[in-house]
């Protein structure tokens, strides 16, 4: 039994976990805070220990990384990060699987490739840096001044870098994408930042992943977006619907990556 505790809205993460668990022969219980004692302030320490008696794993989608870590500390079952404000590791698993489908037959084939991310240095950017570092993929984060990734995550990614992977941050979109094998973007205002939308649109002027940026990449380059997408803002309609786009393969790979993750975590039960 997989318990889902999601304090943020979700389409791909929620559905892919539910379908993945069903395909493995298991079940999922949706523990929405609004219908459980979580929403009434029950301590995480109590919730985690009780749910450990009922479920085989928990997937947590929340705001603060500290909340996720508290669940992991008190639970006696696997706790999966289904997204926090700091990281989105399940998304990165699907992203690099999509890169592997385009450029090789195994993770080892990814070493030396360059993934260019253009946009806000957010949780998605953080997980791309960390996962890319482990796989030997060069990750370039292109963002306006003031929207760079967390320096602690950047330092950790560089410390993890294997096979000579270069993890870099630049503040020019052309410099970020030039020669890259994968171009990636995300919304400019993440969940919880909706009040900053207008301000961020001004700050990110010129950062849309459009046909002009795509033309600066490797001719074989693929385009990625974790969805939902705002066409005409962070990505043009022509690029997301174009021949280089792997966005919907990437969304499908959320299912496959999470099924593999669950099988790995629960296979010994």
Q: Which of 250, 254, 258, 259 is catalytic?
A: 254
Question: Is 200 a residue of the active site?
Answer: no
Question: Is 91 a residue of the active site?
Answer: yes
CA distance linking residue 186 with residue 228, whole number of Å: 8
Q: Which of 85, 120, 186, 259 is catalytic?
A: 186
Residue 253: DSSP 8-state: H
Question: Is 171 a residue of the active site?
Answer: no
Query: What's the longest Cα–Cα distance across the chain?
Result: 54
Q: Which of 91, 181, 258, 259 is catalytic?
A: 91
Question: Is 186 a residue of the active site?
Answer: yes
Question: Is 88 a residue of the active site?
Answer: yes
Helices (H) and strands (E) in the chain, counts: 11, 9
How far out from the chain centre does Cα 156 lie? 17
Total Cβ atoms within 10 A of residue 34: 8
* Sheet of strand 167-170, all strands in order from the earlier edge strand to the far edge: 167-170, 138-142, 114-118, 182-185, 222-225
Q: Which of 14, 61, 126, 246 is catalytic?
A: 61
Residue 56: DSSP 8-state: S
Provide the 3-class DSSP secondary structure of residue 129: helix
CA distance linking residue 162 with residue 23, whole number of Å: 34
Q: Which of 12, 14, 85, 88 is catalytic?
A: 88
Q: C-alpha distances in angstroms, 23 versus 19, 157, 233, 263?
A: 6, 33, 36, 10
Q: Which of 95, 226, 246, 259 is catalytic?
A: 226
Question: Is 210 a residue of the active site?
Answer: no
**3-state helix/strand/coil string of 73-125:** HHCCCCEEECCCCCCCHHHHHHHHHHHHHHHCCCHHHHCCCEEEEECCCCHHH
Q: Collect all residues with Cβ–Cβ distance below 8 Å to 19 and sequence separation of at least 6.
A: 255
The catalytic residue positions are 61, 88, 91, 186, 226, 254
């Amino acid at each position: 039994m997989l318990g889902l505790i999601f304090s943020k809205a979700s389409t791909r993460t929620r559905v892919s976990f539910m379908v993945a668990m069903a395909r493995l022969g298991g079940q999922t219980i949706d523990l929405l805070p609004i219908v459980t004692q979580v929403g009434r302030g029950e301590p995480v320490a109590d919730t985690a220990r009780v749910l450990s008696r009922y479920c085989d794993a928990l997937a947590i989608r929340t705001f603060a990384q500290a909340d996720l870590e508290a669940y992991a500390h008190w639970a006696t079952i696997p706790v999966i990060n289904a997204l926090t404000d700091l990281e989105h590791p399940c998304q990165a698993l699907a992203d690099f699987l999509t890169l592997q489908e385009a450029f090789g037959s195994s993770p080892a084939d990814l070493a030396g490739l360059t993934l260019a991310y253009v946009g806000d240095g957010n949780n998605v950017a953080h997980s791309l840096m960390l996962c890319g570092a482990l796989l030997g993929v060069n990750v370039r984060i292109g963002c306006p001044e003031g929207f760079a990734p967390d320096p602690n995550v950047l330092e950790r990614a560089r410390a993890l870098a294997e096979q000579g992977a270069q993890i870099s941050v630049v503040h020019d979109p052309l410099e970020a994408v030039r020669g890259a094998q994968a171009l990636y973007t995300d919304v400019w205002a993440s969940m919880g930042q909706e009040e900053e939308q207008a301000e961020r649109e001004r700050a990110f002027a010129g950062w849309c992943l459009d046909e002009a940026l795509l033309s600066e990449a490797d001719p074989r380059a693929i385009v990625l977006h974790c969805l939902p997408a705002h066409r005409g803002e962070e990505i043009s309609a022509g690029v997301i619907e174009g021949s280089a786009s792997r966005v919907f393969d990437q969304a499908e790979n959320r299912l496959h990556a999470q099924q593999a993750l669950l099988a790995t975590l629960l296979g010994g039960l």
